[in-house]
Structure formats: C-alpha cells, structure tokens
Structure 1
C-alpha cells in the first residue's frame, strides 16, 4: 500500500509540474502577444500622428502637383517644395524613430513610366510586368547619411520614385483615413503611419506616410523577451522546488498584469495611453444607461505648444508636458475622473457621474491650476507661462449619443475655446 501511495504521489507531482510548465508557456505566449501588439500600436500611433501633423502643415496647389508629378526623381527632390517639406519633416524625425516622411500618390494611367523587370521581382515583391502605379511626390529622410546608406552612395534613379500598388495601400488610399500598417517592400520593413492629403483646391491626391524602421519594434520586443525568459527560467526552477507544497500561479499572473499595465500607461506622462483610456471610456459608456449616470468628457490642449518645442527644444518640452499632466491629474482624480494622452500635447479627460452644472467649475479649476504652475513660456501669444484650453461636453443617459460623437463635440468645444482666446474652458451640453 505504501508503495502504491508513493507512486500515486509521484504521478501527481509530475502532473503538477507539467501543468505548471504548460501554464508558464501559455502565459508567456499570451503576454508576448499582448505586449507585441501594444508595442506595434504605440509605434503605429506615433507614426500616424506625425503623418497627420505633416499633412496639416503641408500645402500644395493643383499646378504644383501636376508639375512635380511630371519631373524626374532627382529634380523633384531638389524643388523648393520638397526642400521645404524635408526641412519641416526633419523636425518631427530628429527626436523620434521616424526614418522617412513622404507624400505618396497614384500615377494617372497615361503617365505610368515603368514596370517590374524579371530581375526586380524580389525587390518589388511582384511578378515581372507589374506596372509601377504609385509615385512619391515628396520625399524626406531623417538625414543625408541615411539616404546615402540606403542608396549605397549611388543616389536615386528615377525608377526608385515608383512602386507597385499593393492591395494594402490601395485599400488605405481608397478609404482616405488616418491609419497605420506594417509595410514590407523594396526599402525594408516599417511601421507606417498614414494621413490623407488634399491640395489647396480640396482635391484628394494621396497619403502622407511616416516610416518607423521595424528595428525599433524588434529591439523593444527583444528587451521584453529577455525579461520574460528570465522570469520563466526562475519560475520553473522555483516551481520544481516548491510544487510538493501546493504550488500557486499567482506570481505569474501578477507578472503578466504588471507587463500589461506598463504598456497601458503613457511612458512620458504616466497618464493612461490612448488605447487604455478609450477602452475604459467604452466600458463606462456601455453601462451609462443602466446606471443612469451622466458622463463629462473633455479634450485638453496645451496652448501654443509647438512654439514651445521649437524654441526650448523637445527635451524641455517633455518636461513641460510632464509638469502640466501632474497638475491636471491631481485635479482630475480629486473629482473621481481619469485622464489619457490622445497624442502629442492633446489629452482626454472623463468624469463618470458629473453633471453639466459641475463641469464648467472643474474645467476652470484645471485652467487656473496650470496657469498658477507658472511654467515659463515666452513664445506664447497669450501669456508668459504655459496655459491650457479645454473643450467639454456633458452627456446624459437619455441623449443616446455615441462615444465617437461625444468626442467630436468635445473637440468642437476645444476648437471654440481656442478660437476665443485660449487659456479657457468651454463646455457644451448635448440637446
């Protein structure tokens, strides 16, 4: 009997060890998937917001578009329009991982110059004879050294300006909306952010693209995998030692939660990331009718912050954003709200159960608190210190308003607050 009992005990121990190891493997796969996805999302959003910013600043007439379209690549690169485009784009690239920013368009069928040659099939990832129907109207690279490295010191040929029309880009071009994707082509593998571009007459001609080399993604994933590998090794050893005394999986679960929490928080400001904020807001929105509570939603913008970055530098700009967020977050949490970074110097704030009558009071407190911070800003046209503008909207359960529509209303209120002088708050009520 004793021998049988020992065998049963040994089998149970082996089973527990197998379950423990299998659990570690599954949790590792799960956490890797989540973190990998979050890293791509963070890089994609960074590239997309850069593309949006450049698109908003860029202007081009229909005549300039036609003129540049007909030029050879080297001539196009040396136009005043492209030199200006590259100069402005490098301001976004110098303190980021963005390598290229460009304006990508479709070539009119009667102007297609090139197709894929048999020896170029691997470069273009397309069969011989495929037409090159995509053109880079404008092109900016982070530095001349990178351009020389990418071209092997030979410079660009005119054909380098063109590319095949992939199904992915065709879909993005047709939809004409800001987005990001993973692209793998002749020039390498990138996380690419896109934003639509229109000429001065309102004609849609293509997408502004911003490329972050995938090396950045692999480096961040590599760091995570080292942490994960060390964690798995330690836990397997610890598990084998202590499994006979009722092994628990709590440590592993806690680790995964910490990793996920790290990527749900904006690395610079410690407020919620855009994705985490929208997830939380979405959960509240689904339950608002059931709980019969109001929702107060704000969009906050730091006034003339581009001027701050241009004159004080991005390092000082980061410190200023952190200081503003600390002040705002204190007031937001004091009233039971939560805050997330929407992008750049724009933030979202939400309060569950806050009525319209209370929103203006809280918003004014936030505006005054930031101004009292006294953070020097000599390049603001409205004050000698950093200030903020807020646009808010009050939503009641019976309004039947979607979350997306409420965000648009908050953005509209922010626009009005800025139009009326900035350093103020404006709250709308949905009728």
Structure 2
C-alpha cells in the first residue's frame, strides 16, 4: 500500500473520530440548552398562570371546598384557557396544589388533565423526591431534567399562588411530557447527524488532498536522498533545487528536514572532494615510491653493475 493511501486512510480515520466526538459533544450541549430553555418557558407560564388565579378562592377551595364549587370551576377555567394558549409550547398539563398536614406531602386541588394521568381532587402527592415543589412556595422553580412519578415522565416548573394579603396559598404546576422533550432531542440529533454526515463526505477528498500534499513533499525528500546515494551533490541538479525551494518555503518539520538534508549534502560533497584530493595525493606518493623501487632494483642488477664498471674502466686500445 502506498504511503499516500496509508496517510489518506489515517487522516480520514482520525478526522472521522474527531467529527463524531464533536457531534456528540455539540448535540449534548444543544439538547441540554434546549431542555433549560423549555424549563424556563414552563416556569414563565407557571408564573403567569399563578398571577391569574384568585388566591383567596384557591385557599377556600383547598380548605373547605369541593370540585363542584364555583371556585373550583373558576380556577379550572383559568387553567384550561392557558392550556389552550400554551399547547404550542409543549405544555401537557396545568394544575394547582396546596400544602397538607403531612410532611413532604402536597395535595392536588385543580387539574385540567382529564385522561388516565389526571389527579383527583385533594389527592396526596409525595414530594420527597421532588424538593423543588416545596421550594416553589417561596419562588418560581423549574426542573432541568426529566423526572418520573406515578403519572409518567415529565419536565416541570412551578410558581407560588398568593392571596390578597400576599401570603402563599398554593402553587401552580406546569408539565411538558417526556414525548415532547424527546421529540426536541431527536430533532437536534437528526440535524447534527446530517451535518456530521455532510462533513464526513467532505472529509474523504480533503483527506486525499492533504495526504497528497504531504506525500509530494516527502517524495521530493526521497528523490533528494536518491541523488545523495548516487553521489550527485551539484546544486544545479533538479532535485537539489527543489529541496532548497522546499526548505525556504516551509517553516515546519518538513522544511527543517529539507534544510538539514541540504546541509548534509553540502557536507558530504565537501568531505568527498577532500577525500578525493587525499586519494590523488596518495596515488602520486605511491607512484614515486614505485619508481624509486624500480630504480633501486635496476641499480642492484648484475647487468647494471657490469655496465657501470665498464663505464668507469673502459678497455684499453691494446685490448
């Protein structure tokens, strides 16, 4: 497998992991943000509904009234009106509650829900697992996560109901069903998924381009290494020129490597030239020694000695 292909696969795999991780982080962020936004809207609705309720009528109803009283019908009409108005805000149910004589227990007073999840008039509700319901008698509160009770799974918000004297006499609860929250979550996830998929499609040619860009530079370094291996160090060589341009253009690790290899080539060329000069001098010295040896051998030969003696003692005319 070519280096370019390996690099492309590596870059693509790394980019895919990063994109998926980023998508998960982003989707989690936006889901939490949207849940907080829904909770805050529910709290605002609860505050508006609480202001619209006659606190004195609610106090009478919770203490001595029944579901056939005019106070009950009046409060229920208010709740029904706001339920119709806020259906676009994913509101499923609106109800009121009052304190009971038991600790961590509230009582349902009016509930507009008429389905299987509807509460009964003055039905007790254990708030041990829902401390914000108790705290809502002092100021508006909102849950920022889905909570499950015997009626189902909900995202809820609460606001206090005050009487004419400014004393709290109950709370308004506003619920959004888990299905509506999950719908919002799924919408966000689907949008993030589409964006991630499109990004992955772009990643394929981008990875190939990046790997080609890097491998091209490495190929230049490889060609330069081949030039050095073959003993070509002259700076008019095409590969040498390319490597010097690469070293001057890039300021990263590849550029540094190109610069280092260029300097290495210069040093190798200098050392080779110096070595050649030494070898040439050595050859000359060896030649001189060989010549001297041959002369010595010639001088020591019997023929040379005879000729030398004759030259020194020429024969007389009589001889």
Q: TM-score range by the shorter chain?
A: 0.5 to 0.7
- Return the alpha-carbon distance in structure 1 between the equivalents of residues 180 and 156 of structure 2: 13
Match of 2:164 in 1: 200
> For 1:102, what is the secondary structure of its paired residue?
strand
Cα offset, 1:20, TM superposition: 0.7
Match of 1:84 in 2: 74
Please state if 1:242 is matched with 2:206: yes
Please state if 1:138 is matched with 2:110: yes
Q: CA RMSD in A?
A: 2.8
Q: Map of 1:201-220 to 2, 5 A cutoff?
A: 201-220=165-184
- Return the alpha-carbon distance in structure 2 between the equivalents of residues 174 and 58 of structure 1: 16
- Return the alpha-carbon distance in structure 1 between the equivalents of residues 121 and 10 of structure 2: 65
Match of 2:49 in 1: 54
- Return the alpha-carbon distance in structure 2 between the equivalents of residues 64 and 232 of structure 1: 52
> How many residues are paired up?
206
TM value normalised by structure 2: 0.56
Cα offset, 1:173, TM superposition: 2.0
Match of 1:221 in 2: 185
Task: Decide whether aligned partners of structure 1 residues 11 and 105 sit closer, same or farther in structure 2, where only a CA change above 3 A counts.
Answer: farther
> Could you say which structure has the greater relative contact order, defined with CA pairs below 8 angstroms and 6 or more residues apart?
2
Cα offset, 1:102, TM superposition: 1.5
Match of 1:34 in 2: 29
User: Which among 16, 20, 27 is matched to residue 25 of structure 1?
Assistant: 20
User: Which among 99, 110, 116 is matched to residue 106 of structure 1?
Assistant: 99
* Contact 2:55–2:161, Cα closer than 8 Å, also in 1: no
- Offset from partner CA, 1:4-52 (integer Å, 9 cap, x none): xx34x44432331222112111221122122212221222122111111
Match of 2:243 in 1: none
Match of 1:423 in 2: none
Structure 2: tracts of 5 or more residues without a match: 212-319
* Contact 1:68–1:137, Cα closer than 8 Å, also in 2: yes
* Contact 1:132–1:162, Cα closer than 8 Å, also in 2: no
Task: Decide whether aligned partners of structure 1 residues 138 and 20 sit closer, same or farther in structure 2, where only a CA change above 3 A counts.
Answer: same
* Contact 1:134–1:162, Cα closer than 8 Å, also in 2: yes
- Offset from partner CA, 1:57-112 (integer Å, 9 cap, x none): 11232x862553456xxx43x32222111212222221323222122232113xxx
Cα offset, 1:241, TM superposition: 3.3
Larger strand proportion of the pair: 1
Structure 1: tracts of 5 or more residues without a match: 110-130, 142-146, 248-431
Q: Map of 1:26-425 to 2, 5 A cutoff?
A: 26-61=21-56, 65=59, 67-69=61-63, 75-76=66-67, 78-95=68-85, 96=87, 97-109=90-102, 133-141=105-113, 147-150=114-117, 161-170=123-132, 172-173=134-135, 176-181=138-143, 182-246=146-210
- Offset from partner CA, 1:304-328 (integer Å, 9 cap, x none): xxxxxxxxxxxxxxxxxxxxxxxxx
Structure of larger gyration radius: 2
* Contact 1:82–1:139, Cα closer than 8 Å, also in 2: no
TM value normalised by structure 1: 0.43
Cα offset, 1:158, TM superposition: 6.1
